[in-house]
Chain A
Amino acid sequence: MINKEGKVKIPSGCAITGIIDKNGNKFNGEDIIKSIALMHERSNGLGGGFAAYGIYPEYKDFYALHIFFDDFNIKIQTEDYIKKNFDIINSESIPTKKNPKIYDPPLIWRYFLNPKKDNIEKKEIDEKEFVFKCVMEINKNFKGAYIFSSGKNMGVFKGVGYPEDIGKFFLLDTYEAYIWTAHGRFPTNTPGWWGGAHPFTLLNWSVVHNGEISSYDANRRFVEMYGYICTLKTDTEVITFLFDMLIRKHNIPLKKAIKIVVAPFWDDIEKEIDPSLKKELKSIRSVYASALINGPFSIILGFEDGILALNDRIKLRPLVVATKDAKTYISSEESAIRVICNNPDKVWMPAGGEPIIALLKKEYR
């Protein structure tokens, strides 16, 4: 029997794309589908998915949980747990459209939730930590239920299939977002589990990732010291946890967090003339040595205020950036940008370890 994802680590190659409108103007999912579809050859039909920010304005103050259920039995059990910890503002089956290329989908539901204040106070933690703990609990202990999206005013849509088919299956042309990211997957071996597709998310973070990180077990065992449980055994999961831990739990500014995961080389640190910067970089490499992400990767990290695109330190995966007016495009291939933006203002390939940060303008946040 082939092990389900989560029991075994599966290497995979991929295609990624991301678009942000820095003015906060929303647009539907047609462009992102078109872009990721162009890179059809980079995936193999065993996983595709999208993350979209700004899609639930009417529920923007509530946590939107997207959940896969294997059957109604586990759905009832999970809902019991949810009801104990949250007030359910709304719940519904996520609308889908039959597609001959998409088969055997699980039950796909979404819930708009407000955490119960009493429960949070009892645990003496903040609201986000409470939601984080509930998500971890369900994904670890409710066999057959899997939360694949848990942020506010954002959502993930993913499954087994080519990404363009997954996009049509979820009717993404009916959603409007100011950030879209997409992922097409080329796993070398997978039984095709919907939860294994990307993006991977936690709270408002979403990560699409192309690569196979060789530091996986070092990173995993590091975040597990801080209460994270890696249920999926995927690189993307552990990358998401790292960012969540560094930025949310350790309160580290985004730009410093980047210096942690793609740390400058020791040789360059030695050459640094500013003594306080040198000291800072040495401290970063000492304390967060196990958070260095190694091996080939290009990622797009989405969050409510914008996106971050990042390559490994020696650029072992492709990553191209383009801008046009208020829009920033990021993709594995330039052609996947030009197919939706034929006349960009600027196109460039960032260097290894060089972050691309595209944020919503302050007035639109």
Chain B
Amino acid sequence: MSLNFNTPLFEIIRDKNKCIQCKVCVRQCANEVHWYSSYENIVNSDNNKCVNCHRCVILCPTKAITIRKHRLEFRNNSNWTSNAIKEIQKQADTGGVLLSSMGNPNKLPIYWDKILLNASQVTNPSIDPLREPMETKVMIGRKPDKLKFNKQGDLITDMPPQIELNVPIMFSAMSYGSISKNAHEALARAATKLGICYNTGEGGLNKDFYKYGKNTIVQVASGRFGVYKDYLNAGVGIEIKIGQGAKPGIGGHLPGKKVGADVSVTRMIPIGSDAISPAPHHDIYSIEDLRQLIFALKETTNYSKPIFVKIAAVHNAAAIASGIVRAGADVVVVDGFRGGTGAAPTRVRDNVGIPIEFALASIDQRLREEGIRNSASLVISGSIRNSSDIVKAIALGADAVYIGSAALIAMGCHMCRSCSTGKCNWGIATQQYDLVKRLNPDIMYKRLVNLISAWNHEIQEMLGGMGINAVDSLRGNKLMLRGIDLNETELRILGIKYVGE
């Protein structure tokens, strides 16, 4: 056994004057960072184990704990950064693939921040959402090319199934297994209260949550975990997951230790077995195969639910999206390279896929050029951080967005990016009973409702500022956007003008 070269990332600073040796930190930390020495009557900590999740900081009654970046530095080197060195040491130590959690954290351009919005001045009045109607409802699903009326003026077109969202936001797919039952309950109840939808993810649906079906989208991924007829009919829509922004080209992994009795029943797999989704769907090796699955699901549900197809934003996403629409999907979901995950190979997460802003703009444009934009709704995800990201996404052509990380943060996630360890101190990304019960769904669903309500108010303010009183009139309305700090190619692909133009 060689020497372990790992050095700590964080440093725990305990103010000895404030610490009352109450041991809350010792009990709260699943990573066993803190321990109490009765001999000295002090609480000690092991920096090496700390993931900086802030659980101890927030629960410490005397606020004695501070965590900061560890001061230990490697000699300055712009090429061999400390991260590069540490990753090599870790792999030399274990011989394994590097795993990471949550979205790509690297310093790459965030295009939302390079897009600015318009507002009305003089020639066009802004509209005050406090005093005038301001509509944010959207209908998700395939629309016919046109409506037909008979001679008496009655509508004779049968509408394909639609999902009504009061706000153009949904909670994105996070499986039961990757996150806890309590987290799922909070998401389901918040979606119900808000009149939006949450997505089950690929791990099936716990029996207790079938009652939230009107606000549920069930997912079918390559592992087909928990998929059977009742499950498919449980929600208002079905999502076929082809790929995910955090790990395009590979399937989901759930380690066996997260597969307890309840997850096992829900996923329909033995207790303790690893749930490894195959990289592709083994019944989809081409677009015509996708069509068969789409229609198999439509047949199973008697054509009563829109079928979503979710892909990761990759280089030729526009052509793929067009194929998906032509294959019969009612909703195309595109997940950008910043999208979150419970666990993904680090190299894949940080190097595969493209920014969602570009995938969105090029898909929307492509579908319009082919005259099929109305044939499917376009939902995007992959690091929507706030309401202005949503306004920009809709103006670039999205019908709605999925949020994952933001919803978890509302429930207590502090982005320590250690989901894959299964020791989430906030009770989110864990199946450990003592940790799961820390997340109180009665409180957390309200925090989710607060977040979406706040964002909805902000969206309404921005819409009103632009002189728009329905989100319908923002969709694809690129004149409301201007780019800053972008080159000509970026502007062309986004389809927007530069500031001042």
Residues in A lying within 8 Å of B, measured CB to CB: 9, 11-13, 188, 211-212, 214-219, 221-222, 224-226, 249-253, 255-256, 263, 265-267, 276, 279-280, 282-290, 292-296, 313-314, 316
Contact = CB atoms under 8 A, between A and B. Distances in A.
Q: Which of A214, A219, A226 has the most CB of B within 10 A?
A: A214
Contacts of A249: 146
Contact of B476 (A211, A221, A226, A282): A221
Contacts of B155: 276, 279-280, 283
A147 B309 CA distance: 45
A204 B267 CA distance: 63
A292 B473 CA distance: 7
Given A217-B477, A221-B478, 13 more contacts: A11-B124, A215-B472, A215-B473, A219-B473, A221-B476, A225-B368, A249-B146, A256-B147, A276-B154, A290-B476, A292-B470, A292-B473, A313-B133
B162 interface: yes
B474 interface: yes
B127 A314 contact: yes
B123 interface: yes
A290 B475 contact: yes
B467 interface: yes
Contacts of A285: 139, 472
A218 B147 contact: no
Contacts of B345: none
Contact of A288 (B141, B147, B153, B154): B147
B3 interface: no
B133 A265 contact: yes
Contact of A212 (B123, B154, B162): B123
22 contacts: A188-B123, A215-B468, A215-B477, A217-B480, A218-B475, A218-B476, A249-B146, A250-B147, A251-B146, A255-B153, A266-B137, A267-B133, A283-B147, A285-B472, A287-B147, A287-B374, A289-B472, A290-B374, A290-B473, A290-B475, A292-B470, A294-B467
Interface in B348-404: 368, 371, 373-374
Contacts of B159: 279, 282-283, 286-287
A13 to B, nearest CB: 7
Nearest to B143: A287
A226 B374 CA distance: 11
A221 B155 CA distance: 26
A11 to B, nearest CB: 4
Contacts of B470: 263, 292, 294
A287 B479 contact: no
A295 B146 contact: no
Contacts of B473: 214-215, 218-219, 290, 292-295
Nearest to A314: B132
B466 interface: yes
B123 A294 contact: no
Contacts of B149: 251-253, 256
A286 B476 contact: no
Interface in B2-51: none
Contacts of B123: 11-13, 188, 212
Contacts of A225: 368, 371, 373-374
A172 to B, nearest CB: 29
B114 to A, nearest CB: 19
A209 B141 CA distance: 34
Given A256-B149, A289-B472, A290-B475, A295 B374 contact: no
B469 interface: yes
Contact of B478 (A214, A217, A267): A217
Contact of A218 (B127, B146, B162, B472): B472
Given A215-B473, A218-B474, A287 B146 contact: yes
Contacts of B468: 214-215, 294-295
B157 interface: yes
Contacts of A221: 368, 476-478
A265 B135 CA distance: 8
B368 A286 contact: no
Interface size class of B (residues with CB under 8 A): 35 or more
Interface string B114-141: 0000001001110100001101011101
A318 to B, nearest CB: 13
B81 to A, nearest CB: 43
Contacts of B480: 214, 217
Contacts of A211: 124
Q: Which of B123, B125, B139, B155 has the most CB of A within 10 A?
A: B123
B476 A214 contact: no
B466 A214 contact: yes
A118 to B, nearest CB: 28
Contacts of A250: 146-147
B105 interface: no
Contacts of B146: 249-252, 287
A294 B157 CA distance: 26
B124 A253 contact: no
Q: Which of A12, A224, A316 has the most CB of B within 10 A?
A: A316
Q: Which of A288, A289, A296, A316 has the most CB of B within 10 A?
A: A289
Nearest to A250: B146
A339 B141 CA distance: 52
A214 B120 contact: yes
B421 to A, nearest CB: 45
B193 interface: no
B61 interface: no
A221 B162 CA distance: 23
A145 B146 CA distance: 33
Contacts of A218: 472-477
B494 to A, nearest CB: 13
Nearest to A294: B473
B146 to A, nearest CB: 4
Contacts of B476: 217-218, 221-222, 290
B148 A296 contact: no
A294 B124 contact: no
Contacts of B141: 286
B175 to A, nearest CB: 31
B353 to A, nearest CB: 26
B136 to A, nearest CB: 9
A265 B134 CA distance: 9
B139 A214 contact: no
Given A256-B149, A286-B162, A296-B124, A314 B469 contact: yes
Nearest to B166: A266
Nearest to B140: A286
B144 interface: yes
Contact of A287 (B127, B144, B474, B475): B144
B74 to A, nearest CB: 51
A233 to B, nearest CB: 9
B193 to A, nearest CB: 17
B143 A296 contact: no
A348 B474 CA distance: 33
B326 to A, nearest CB: 16
A306 to B, nearest CB: 18
Contacts of B374: 225, 287, 290
